[in-house]
Every structure is written in C-alpha cells, then in structure tokens.
A and B are shown apart, each in its own frame.
Chain A
Amino acid sequence: MFAERGSWVIFASIFVALFIVAIPVPVSWRGFVPDWSLLVLFYWVLALPGRVGVLLACVVGVLTDLLDGSPVGATAVGSVLAVLVILVSYQRIRQFDGLKQSLVMGLLISLVHLIEQRLETFLGWQHVGTDFLLPAATSLLFWVPVRNCLRSLRRYYEVQ
C-alpha cells in the first residue's frame, strides 16, 4: 500500500484534513464542524476500494481520537464499520448522483458518531442530547465539494 503510486497523496490529504479539524472555531460553532477526516477517508475508499480499506480506516479513527482527546479507539470502531459498508457496496454508491451520495455519507457519519457516543458513554463520558449528530448533517453538505476536489487531485497525480 505504501509503495504504490501516489500513496503520498492519500496520506497528505488525510493529514491536511486532520489539521483542518484542529483549527480553532468559536465555541458556538463547534457542534457544526464537519468531519473532514472521515469525508476524506470515505472518498479514498470509494475511489480505490482495492487499495484503501479497513486498516487505514482504523488508523484515521485512532488519529482523530488522539487529536481530540476522546478515548482512543472510539471513533476507530465506527469508522471501520462505516468503511466496511462502503467496501461492500461501493459499486452501487458510485452510481448514485451527488445528492444520494451525500445522504449515504451523512448516514455513515452518523453511524460513526452513534457508535462513538455509545462506547464513550460506557467509559463514563456524558453526551447531552443528540447534538453529537449535528456534524453528520454539516458533513453531508460538504461531501460533493470534497469529492470533486479529491477527484481532481487523484486524476492529476494519477493515483490508481
């Protein structure tokens, strides 16, 4: 996976996404920040299912957890499951138009957050209300721009 052509594009895009997640935002906006790292991960899985899979999903999940200080592994479990869903049905998801794809991504991201919330609650964290699902709604809006941007990157650097 590391030696193949253009692997660095995949890793670089994920690191950039993690940096964007860490950019400070006003407290009242925090709930709305999209999950950039998950969107980027989902794009690469959808585009190159033979190459990017559950292991990278696990790594991205663990890095996200390390960054935001949540229990390490809570996001990773969800992202592995979500990526499994994409791996099983990527041919179908690719046929969808932008709107349908966005909805699928929104659903997958809310799945990740639901699992994360459950696991964190086991460990004594407390979530108030259903606000933890808000990022799924905002991520959904950003799926098409992220996809188009990464697609042109992929074509430019001929990552296959």
Chain B
Amino acid sequence: MNASVTPGRPVVEVRELVKDYVTRDARLRQHTARAVDGVSFEIAAGETFAIVGESGSGKTTVGRVLLKLTSATGGTVLFGGEEILEVPERRFRPERRHMQMVFQDPLAAFDPQTTIRSSLREFTRLSGIETRAEQNEAIAEAVRSVGLEPEIADRRPSQVSGGQLQRLSIARSLLPEPELLFLDEPTSSLDVSIRGQIVNLLLDLQERNDLAYLLVAHDLRVVYAMAQRVAVMYLGQFVEVGARDQVYANARHPYTRGLLEAAELDEPPRRGDPVRLVGEISEEAAAKPGCRLTLRCPFAVQRCEEPQPLRETAAGHFVRCWRAVEQPVEIGLPPNE
C-alpha cells in the first residue's frame, strides 16, 4: 500500500487495523466476530479517501476506531505522525479537536433535549473559546459558512429540516477546526434533491480548509463526486483499492464489478463484462481463510479457498483476487496494463 500515490503529507496513516467484537451466547460461550481485518490506508490533507461496501462490511467501524470512539484490537493509527491508539482517553480528549465526525442521520446526532446552539457550544470549548460572546460569534460564523442564518441555531433539532440539520451537523464538526473529518454516510438519510447540496457544500469546505476526508458510503454517485481514492470493503477486508478512476472505470475485483453493475451508473464507461452477484453478505464467510466472496462469485474456483493477499495490478491499484491478477481475460476483464 505504500506504493499508492498520495499528494502531500498524510494527515492520518492506518496500518493493519484489526477490530474484534466479542459476544456471548445464551450458554455464555464467547464468540469473536472480526469486523475489521487488517486494513491499511493513509489520507493526505485536502484528500478524500472513500470506503464503499454493503452494510456489514465493517466500513463504519474503521472510522470509529480511527476516531478512538471504540477501541482497536490490533494495528496502529498515526495521526500527524504520532501513534494515537495507545494514548489513554483522558489525555486524548483535548486532541479530539483535530478529528471530527459527521453522522448519517442528523436527527440522531443532536440531543433532542437541547437547542442546536447548546450542542454547538460544546464544540467551541474544544478550541479553547471560553466566553459566551466569543462562543456565539464562532457559532454564528460556522452556521453562516454552511449557508444558513445564525438564528436557526436557537431551534430544536426536530424543528429544522433534515437537509438544514445536516448542514448544522457539518458546521458543528468544523467548529474545533479539525484536520480530519470522518463522514459516515453523510447523505444517505437525505432526499435526492438535497443530497447534491450537501455534497457540494462538503467539497467547498474541503477546498477552503484543506481538510482530509474519510468518506464511508454505499452511494457510488456520492463517492464518485467526492473521492480521489476509493477502497472497496467486504467482510472486514479491503478487496480493491485504487484511484477513483481505476476503481470505477477499470474495476478488477468481481465484488467491485458487481457493486458497480447494481448501481446502474451511466458514467464513467466500464471496461470488462458486467458481473451479477447472487445471494447476500453473510458473516459466516468472514471465518474462512480464503476469499470471502466465493459463495456469491460467478468465477469462484478451488484455488479461491486459499488465503488471498492484496496484490498490485497497476500503480496504486490493488486487488484481493488472484484470478483478476493472473487470469483477467478468463473472468471477462481486459488484460492488465
């Protein structure tokens, strides 16, 4: 992965991140589910790195572990060159200003019992603004920067529309002046006609503030509009990573091809035959040593049961499928570049 092209200095570097969830069944036996299984990537300032995948792929967990909202099982996260996973919560709290999050459902992201202003006020304290007047000034400026009138902050979350509330959620996340924003499905709870407004706003804000974005989404249109690099995740693993156009126009992994096919995108034109995936994601497949897609993949053969490493097919383009690398023509792909 170090070979991938990243402009500028990486804001965050993630190496071999692992996250297990331990549950107990009725007989108190322990079960370990590996939600994230050895994920590595880095994001530069001003860059958007997107993780796409179906629900259950572990994509949101990656972001939450990265922001230390849940603990990691293994791996390292370097933020601005410094390891953060080992830092105890008490010491890390003031550092939270550097990394913020935008939630999928803005209505769930605001405390229903307080006004929007008081939710925003909490975030101004992170950047050391103590007096009320200065806080209100910072809030007004942040609310204006997302295209709303400052008075709207005096309402309750239930009294503004979904699109407006998502703008306010973005304003809130920018108050501490972070370098990294984790965007967890920022448009999927919004109406189609509002979706574009939010995407464009996020793009403008990124340009203005040189922000690094970790975008987690299943809407491939939104990802195409926002990301420079895209990782496709399936059951805890990246199965394909590359520059946006490599992944969209020259998808190599059968899963990526199936996702693109299902999304019915008109643009950009894709190389290779369309792929139909059958069945649905099942966590049992995550326990297998080999490829986890074999039950759904039209190209699965015996050798797919062996462990599959992420292999580079072109500069910065990685695929976790031996057939895509060694037998592209047989699975309906143009030969490797």
To the question of whether A and B form a pair in one complex, the answer is: no
